[in-house]
Amino acid sequence: MPSVYTLFGSMLGAFYFPELSLWGKIAIGIALALLTAAFNVVALRLGKWLPNLGALLKLLAVLALGVGGLHFGWNHGFANDFSLDSIVPSSPGQMAALGVMVYGIMGTELACCSAAEMRNARRDIPRAVLISGLIVGAFNIFGTLGVLAAVPAEETDVTRIFAHTLYNIYGHDGAGGMLADLVGAFVLFTLFTNMVTWSMGTNRAAVEAAKAGELPALFGVVHSRHGTPIGSAVLASAVSIVLLLLYGLVAHTAEELFWTLLSIFAMVFMMPYVLMCLAFVRLRRADPRPRPYRMPLGDRLASLWALFVALHVLAGIGLFVVTPGAPMDWAYAGKIVGGVALALAVGELLIRQAARRRGVMSLRGAYG
């Protein structure tokens, strides 16, 4: 959440407020974090219109970038080489981007956390995970092609790239400038809706973990009528606000703040996937009970696939700190590793508190 909303503030400045300061962007991120918590609390039937509208606007934005960028390239010359040799990652910068690519395709499985609110979860969840993953991948590729057709790769400041691309394609003035500004608003709205959608899944997962005694009870507080997460939503937004303020004190630019926060949270987010893959291998062999969703492969092939995914995720984690072929930036790596270590330490503390609570509850149950 902090990295996405840092990007939001930077893009808002690039499109509409060029003089917006770093702390102005951080203030916008804080307001959006609070708004995200509010949308997590409303009933799913009310809150789902936001991601649905966001998906529509994302489609329009991707089409504007992809179609507009390719049209610009065909008429004015492509800003980058699209040969096979240039597409295959080879430079340190391209290799470093692979970690972000791995991170970008994760999260579609969070639909499982809303299974209780679906009519036919056994049918809908596998379908939703597969279709959403394919759509996200296709959107990312098509939109990226449009960006690279209009803007040289060396000029891709991630916090300003959309504004730079759209103004290159459509111009700053007249109808073209108005269209670029409108598409910019679409992109900003989709950043917010993506964060709301993602947090809906993760906060519901935190509620289930709290019910199982794996997280403190505060994470399990839900709305009395809607059953939506309150505790986890408020805590997530509060932590995001604190991190925005703390890292804002040491960052020099919005782009530096974005990459620092993104690297920390991406690494923390990706680590459990490695353990999930190993748990999948173990359960496939040790627990043959039928489950609602089953990967359509035999045990050996499914286990090999899970191990391949685990190695892929590990490589993605490493690429947030180490760039192959480039000198090690120990100052940057220290901030990233320190942030990850702090996040893991806080997580372990919460788990230990929950374990002690489970122990107390067990003793009370044993002795009446």
Q: Given this model, what pLDDT does residue 46 score?
A: 60
The more confidently predicted of residues 140 and 253 is 140
Average pLDDT of the residues of the chain: 80
The more confidently predicted of residues 125 and 108 is 125
Query: What does the pLDDT average to over 126-142?
Result: 81
pLDDT in tens, 31-64: 999 999 888 887 666 666 777 788 788 889 889 9
Q: Which residues pair with 98 in a beta bridge?
A: none
Written as one letter, the residue type at 301 is: L
pLDDT in tens, 72-87: 889 888 887 777 776 6
Q: Given this model, what pLDDT does residue 98 score?
A: 62
Q: Given this model, what pLDDT does residue 111 score?
A: 66
- In b/e form, how buried is each residue of 217-231, taking b as 16+ CB within 10 angstroms? eebbbbeeeeebbbb
Q: What is the CATH number of the domain that holds 24?
A: 1.20.1740.10
Given the structure tokens 């290799």, which residue do they identify? 95
Distances from the Cα of 336 to the Cαs of 11, 69, 282, in angstroms? 23, 34, 31
Q: Given this model, what pLDDT does residue 363 score?
A: 46
> Could you list the residue range(s) of the whole structural domain that residue 290 is in?
2-367
Query: What does the pLDDT average to over 151-165?
Result: 78
Query: What does the pLDDT average to over 94-102?
Result: 62
Indicate the range of 251-255, 332-336, 362-366 predicted with least confidence: 362-366
pLDDT at residue 360 tops 80? no
Distances from the Cα of 345 to the Cαs of 2, 235, 240, 351, in angstroms? 19, 16, 17, 10
Q: Given this model, what pLDDT does residue 367 score?
A: 45
Look at the chain and report how many structural domains it folds into.
Answer: 1
pTM across the whole model: 0.72
